[in-house]
């Protein structure tokens, strides 16, 4: 009997790990999700336990298959999307990480980056990025210098480095396969996006042994098979690994040059497909690889915002303002405005377009009349203001006006946020019925690698289009207040 086949996406995000099962009609059949632990050992440091990330991955895979009553033999391929830049180094023989994973948001490498400041121009030319603790290179250097004996072990060829995709493929393959794809490699600060290879000059400059690095592959191809011990003796092809933001660009159907998406997850990431051209930003954005299909490379222009949805998590977990983030939409609508409150969520400094790694978050404009609903509304509005900062830079760099912005990610469920965003940006904001577009992107790329899908099979349905309603003058006045708040926050 011919059994129905599915594609499984694993989305390893900063806040949570999900497994999402898709059918051939690009519909979600089931989801399993687990929130992981983030460690904050010192101010500005953010770490994860890579072993926990792996345990949660195994758990969600088993959970989703059981929930949907799907056997491993019915999974045509696995695709992985992952939080990018987060760096793990582990021992080749034991498979044990030598230290926690240093998360992309983490700032323990600020001093390393200070000492690398003079390389910024070279780095930008070769990688499309900038010297910043955000990217993997300074994290690798820090791990090699701070974990006793690590540098020597790396030089002996005993250690392996990976971003989360590489770690998961290595674990899924039973320790056989050490690879990454171009979209993830392009976030390390070590990959030359013109020549498409690890850059020897950068490796030498940053004193990083090439032996640590994974082989770089296309975004959609069968890299390896899963270890049969993992899934009832079956081996499943792993057909895609892709950075989660590039996966969302793909999952949003942004296949054509000039199309833009904004994901509101832990951070906020706006990406524009720039086709086969590298657009060099003069306004604080990054040039990055979107994906490689066959021999063809596609690029993107990116505005990376370090803290977006995680402000809502902070208000929940650290201030205990509410139990479920869902309530924030109602609270924001309960008040007419923020009563003059601004929330600049510079918890780990500010990313694009400011790139200030020392400023700290501020809530300003408080009066005795301000209450928790004003603060929650200011936090939601900050996500929209940050998107406008980046969108304005993107229009300037690309010369392309943006009339329609596609949104996804956990916080895109919030209607208040999306209406405010549309009012502020003066453009359509479109949300699709499937909010798991990162997973769809990874699944579809994996499905293409095994001929389960071809590009013409790609379908997504619009859920709601938000159009500007509030007067422009009012929005301009709000935004001017935001810009003042950001300037204050960046003053030493």
Ligand X SMILES: O=P(O)(O)OC[C@H](O)CO
Picked from ligand ADP, ligand X, none, the partner binding residue 349 (CB below 5 to 8 A depending on kind) is none
Is 410 marked within a binding site? yes
Is 484 a known ligand-binding residue?
A: no
Question: Does position 14 bind ligand ADP by CB under 6 A?
Answer: yes
- Contact between 267 and ligand X (CB under 6 A)? yes
Give dist(CA 146, CA 377) in Å, integer. Answer: 41
- Residues 364 to 393 in contact with ligand ADP, rule: CB under 6 A: none
Binding to ligand ADP by residue 326, rule CB under 6 A?
A: yes
Q: Which one of ligand ADP, ligand X, none is in contact with 439 (Cβ closer than 5 to 8 A by kind)?
A: none
> What mask, x for binding ligand X by CB under 6 A, covers residues 76 to 105?
-------xxx------------------x-
Closer by beta carbon to ligand ADP, 237 or else 265 = 265
Report the partner that residue 85 touches, choosing among ligand X, ligand ADP, none (CB closer than 5 to 8 A by kind): ligand X
Residue 107 interacts, among ligand X, ligand ADP, none and using kind-specific CB cut-offs from 5 to 8 Å, with none
Residue 313 interacting with ligand ADP (CB under 6 A): yes
Decide if residue 108 touches ligand ADP (CB under 6 A).
no
Cβ neighbours around 110 below 10 Å, total: 15
Closest CB 18 distance from ligand X, rounded Å: 11
- Residue with tokens 């916080």, as numbered in its chain: 411
Was 266 annotated as part of a binding site?
yes
47 binds, among ligand ADP, ligand X, none (CB under 5 to 8 A by kind): none
By CB under 6 A, the residues from 250 to 269 that bind ligand ADP are: 265-266
Among 48, 219, 245, 311, binds ligand X (CB under 6 A): 245
Which of ligand ADP, ligand X, none does residue 326 bind to, with CB < 5 to 8 Å depending on kind? Answer: ligand ADP
* Residue 472 marked in a binding site: no
x-marked contacts with ligand X along 282-321 as a string, rule CB under 6 A: ----------------------x-----------------
CA dist., res. 61 & res. 52, Å (int): 14
- Beta strand 404-408 with 428-432 is parallel
What residue numbers does the annotated binding site cover? 14-16, 18, 84-85, 134, 244-245, 266, 309, 410, 414
What residue numbers does the annotated binding site for ATP cover? 14-16, 266, 309, 410
Interacting residues toward ligand ADP by CB under 6 A: 13-16, 265-266, 309-310, 312-313, 325-326, 328-329, 409-411, 413-414
């Amino acid at each position: 009997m011919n059994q129905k086949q599915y594609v499984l996406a694993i989305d390893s995000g900063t806040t949570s790990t999900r497994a999402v099962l898709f059918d051939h009609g690009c519909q979600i059949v089931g989801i399993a999700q687990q929130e992981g632990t983030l460690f904050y050992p010192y101010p500005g440091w953010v770490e994860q336990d890579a072993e926990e990330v792996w345990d949660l991955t195994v758990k969600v895979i088993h959970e989703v298959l059981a929930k949907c009553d799907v056997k491993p033999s019915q999974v045509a391929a696995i695709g992985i999307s992952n939080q990018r830049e987060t760096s793990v180094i582990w021992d080749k023989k034991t498979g044990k990480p030598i230290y926690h994973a240093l998360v992309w948001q983490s700032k323990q490498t600020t001093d390393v980056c200070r000492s690398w400041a003079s390389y910024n121009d070279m780095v930008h030319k070769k990688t499309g990025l900038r010297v910043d603790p955000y990217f993997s290179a300074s994290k690798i250097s820090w791990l090699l210098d701070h974990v006793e004996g690590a540098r020597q072990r790396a030089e002996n060829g005993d250690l392996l480095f990976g971003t989360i995709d590489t770690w998961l493929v290595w674990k899924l393959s039973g320790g056989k396969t050490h690879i990454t794809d171009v979209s993830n490699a392009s976030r390390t600060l070590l990959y030359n996006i013109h020549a498409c290879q690890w850059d020897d000059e950068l490796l030498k400059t940053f004193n990083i042994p090439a032996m640590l690095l994974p082989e770089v592959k296309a975004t959609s191809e069968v890299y390896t098979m899963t270890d049969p011990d993992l899934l009832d003796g079956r081996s499943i092809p792993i057909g895609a690994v892709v950075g989660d933001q590039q996966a969302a660009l793909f999952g949003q159907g942004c296949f054509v040059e000039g199309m833009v998406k904004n994901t509101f997850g832990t951070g906020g990431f706006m990406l524009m497909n720039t086709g086969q051209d590298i657009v060099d930003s003069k306004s604080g954005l990054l040039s990055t690889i979107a994906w490689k299909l066959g021999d063809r490379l596609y690029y993107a222009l990116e505005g990376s915002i370090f803290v977006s949805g995680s402000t809502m998590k902070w208000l929940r977990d650290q201030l205990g303002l509410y139990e479920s983030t869902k309530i924030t939409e109602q609270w924001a609508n309960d008040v007419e405005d923020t009563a003059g409150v601004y929330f600049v969520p510079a918890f780990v400094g500010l990313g694009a377009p400011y790139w200030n790694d020392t400023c700290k978050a501020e809530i300003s404009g408080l009066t005795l009349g301000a209450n928790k609903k004003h603060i929650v509304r200011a936090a939601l509005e900050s996500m929209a203001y940050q998107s406008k900062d980046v969108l304005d830079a993107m229009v300037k760099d690309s010369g392309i006006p943006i009339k329609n912005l596609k949104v996804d990610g956990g916080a895109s469920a919030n209607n208040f946020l999306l209406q405010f965003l549309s009012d502020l940006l003066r453009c359509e904001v479109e949300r699709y019925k499937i909010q798991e577009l990162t997973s769809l992107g990874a699944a579809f790329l994996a499905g293409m690698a095994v001929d389960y899908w071809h590009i013409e099979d790609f379908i997504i349905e619009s859920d709601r289009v938000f159009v500007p309603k509030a007067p422009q003058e009012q929005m301009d006045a709000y935004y001017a207040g935001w810009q003042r708040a950001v300037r204050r926050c960046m003053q030493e």
